[in-house]
Amino acid sequence: MNSSSAPRRNVLRTLALAVALVGSATPVWDTAAIAAEPATYALTITHLDRTGHKTGDYETNVTGISGPGADEAVHPYDASGTTTVRLPKGRYLLDSSLTSGNRADGTDWIVQPRLDLNRDTTITVDARTTAPVDVRPPDSSAGFLHSAMFVEVTHDGTTRMANIINSTPTLRVAHLGPDTEAGSVKQWFDAYWKTGTAGYALGQTFTGTRALTGLTRQYSAQELATLQIRGAALPGTTGTASFDLQPTAGPTAGVSETLATPGTATFLVTPQRGTWDVSYAPASGPGAASTRYFADRIAVRAGTTTTHTFDNAVFGPDLTGRPGVERDGDKITVNVPMLADSDGHVPSSPSFDTASTTLHRNGVLVGTRSGTPGRAEFTAPSAPAAYRMTSTVNRKGAAGNATRVTASWTFNSGTTTGPTPTPVSVVRFSPELSPTGTAAANTALRVPVTVQGAAANGHTRSLTVSVSTNGGASWTRVPVDRGAVTISNPKAGTGVSLRAELTDIDGNTLTQTVIDAYRTQ
């Protein structure tokens, strides 16, 4: 399958002629109109198969990059194997895929990143010039899923792209034509393989003056990084989640898989491809809205394992990459994800029963907003004042995990001349729990405590943590020691609730509660 980024236009252009009848039938040529029309040249392309014979089993794309033909995108074809098209003068990208008609033979993909059309030109696309693409994982039992190769060409500030997606490992490629300018050709190749226990995502990137002619690489296990994708499930339940994995940089065709939950999917990936992105969609119950978590720019290193756990406790507020509360003039906006999972992944459509946010100014209610957890907008008077904002979300159907989450902030604020962050903070609780959000009963559990927002990075004046084993009816303070608290877990089947009370160095406060943060078993 091939595609290009330029819009399609008509292949043939007709010179504009104006005929004036002035007392006779003698035509008068409008030379200004003719001069304004760009000159066109004949581009003739002959396609040869691996035996050197002309073939009609091809797909060719000619995409304009610069000059009068910059916006052209044509797909010339003739069953004889030779096709001619007229195009305006300019720089073009040509790519052609040839097949034998037998799927097992694979595809020959030939790319000419520099086609300067300034005269009638003839080109031969010859499958005999290609060389194999043979990129393999260390496990010889792995089965091939698919591969993707993209070529991006830049000239005079304009970029065009061609690509081929292969469902068989028998791809052959070749460069055609002269070299381009230094660094103007970028190329990406990704191949995906799978065994019964793991997958492989083998990606490489190239920059230079030519498209690739062949590519051979046999990876060793030591060259690869391990990326684990763990999916949680509610206690006593199982399900099927789905996830997508792909490199962050450049175009690609990533891999999409299903995962039985609770469970773990393992992929070995190439660190040379850069960081990796994962999106994860847990199974949704009958009538429940589907949601998706995103983990972007995951850094990996050869010989190491990186694990991302999705949809597991402790759920709670998260301020990664956002101010949380912002004031613009007299408008105060809150955007705090209240149900980020244990690794800080934010659900696109969190499951909840009710949610509300209230704002008080100098003790007087400004308003209450209901709807999406942790999201609201208020209009307040311009004069500086003391504010208290409280966001709450209730989840009756959470099977004992984060049945109620509340964050209440106090801060001082007055009108601003533009969007200005308001100093709020949250606390993240990150214990090691089972894939069902549970911890062993009657044992000690270390719970790391992390501050995000205005009080982070040494800006905390005071922080206390309390624990409840009766749904928040009573609380017991536990000391914070070296960034964590230790909780003596109660008997099996008990919900453990957590509360943090914080004051930053400027006097702004947070009271945050997670009822049934996790359960014992």
Q: What percent of the chain has pLDDT over 90?
A: 88
Confidence band (pLDDT; 50, 70, 90) for 287? low
Give the number of other CB atoms < 10 A from CB of residue 126.
Answer: 19
> Which of 22-36, 203-217, 271-285, 311-325 is least confident?
22-36
The answer, yes or no, to whether residue 177 has pLDDT greater than 60, is yes
Q: Which helix (H) or strand (E) holds 82?
A: strand 82-88
Q: What is the pLDDT of residue 223?
A: 97
Compute the mean pLDDT over every residue in the chain, rounded to the nearest whole number.
92
> Where is pLDDT greater, at 105 or 9?
105
Confidence band (pLDDT; 50, 70, 90) for 104? confident
Q: What percent of the chain has pLDDT over 70?
A: 91
Confidence band (pLDDT; 50, 70, 90) for 33? very low
Is 411 within 8 Å of 422 (Cβ atoms)? yes
> Which of 24-28, 375-379, 507-511 is least confident?
24-28
Q: What is the pLDDT of residue 399?
A: 58
pLDDT in tens, 318-356: 999 999 999 999 999 999 999 999 999 999 999 899 999
Q: How far apart are CA 453 and CA 490, in angstroms?
A: 32
Q: How far apart are CA 460 and CA 223, in angstroms?
A: 42
Among residues 370, 377, 375, 305, the alpha carbon closest in space to that of 346 is found at 375
In this prediction the pTM is 0.86
Among residues 358, 364, 393, the alpha carbon closest in space to that of 377 is found at 358
Q: What is the mean pLDDT of residues 121-135?
A: 98
Q: What is the pLDDT of residue 397?
A: 61
Q: What is the pLDDT of residue 285?
A: 64
Q: What is the pLDDT of residue 26?
A: 35
The answer, yes or no, to whether residue 3 has pLDDT greater than 80, is no
pLDDT in tens, 185-235: 999 999 999 999 999 999 999 999 999 999 999 999 999 999 999 999 988
pLDDT in tens, 131-176: 999 999 999 999 999 999 999 999 999 999 999 999 999 999 999 9
Is 261 within 8 Å of 233 (Cβ atoms)? yes
Among residues 455, 472, 449, the alpha carbon closest in space to that of 509 is found at 455
Strands 171-175 and 107-117: parallel
Q: What is the mean pLDDT of residues 464-482?
A: 97
Q: What is the DSSP letter of 481?
A: B
The two three-digit tokens of residue 359, written as one number: 């704002």
Is 453 within 8 Å of 427 (Cβ atoms)? no
Q: What is the pLDDT of residue 450?
A: 98
Confidence band (pLDDT; 50, 70, 90) for 286? low
The answer, yes or no, to whether residue 24 has pLDDT greater than 60, is no
Q: What is the pLDDT of residue 230?
A: 97
pLDDT in tens, 48-87: 999 999 999 999 999 999 999 999 999 999 999 999 999 9
Instruction: Find where tokens 């060793």 sit.
Output: 220
Q: What is the pLDDT of residue 236?
A: 82
Q: What is the mean pLDDT of residues 494-518?
A: 97
Q: What is the pLDDT of residue 102?
A: 85
Among residues 512, 430, 517, the alpha carbon closest in space to that of 463 is found at 512
List the beta strands (DSSP E) in 373-494: 375-379, 385-394, 404-413, 420-421, 425-429, 438-439, 444-453, 460-468, 476-478, 484-488
Domains of the chain: 1-219 (2.60.40.1120), 222-310 (2.60.40), 325-520 (no CATH)
Q: How far apart are CA 166 and CA 215, in angstroms?
A: 15
Q: What is the pLDDT of residue 20?
A: 28
User: DSSP for 327-351?
Assistant: EETTEEEEE--S-B-TT-PPPSS--
Among residues 170, 167, 155, 158, the alpha carbon closest in space to that of 116 is found at 155
The two three-digit tokens of residue 381, written as one number: 């008077």
The sign one gets for the Cα dihedral 328, 331, 334, 335 is negative
Give the number of other CB atoms < 10 A from CB of residue 97.
Answer: 23
Q: What is the pLDDT of residue 31?
A: 43
Give the number of other CB atoms < 10 A from CB of residue 26.
Answer: 9
Q: What is the pLDDT of residue 34?
A: 43
In angstroms, the Cα distances linking 303 to 110, 224, 277, 298 are: 36, 6, 19, 15
Q: What is the mean pLDDT of residues 9-27?
A: 30
User: DSSP for 134-175?
Assistant: EEE-S-TTPEEEEEEEEEEEEETTEEEEEEEEESSS-EEEEE
Tell which phi-psi region holds residue 332, choosing left (phi > 0), alpha (psi between -120 and 50) or beta: beta
Q: What is the mean pLDDT of residues 489-494?
A: 96
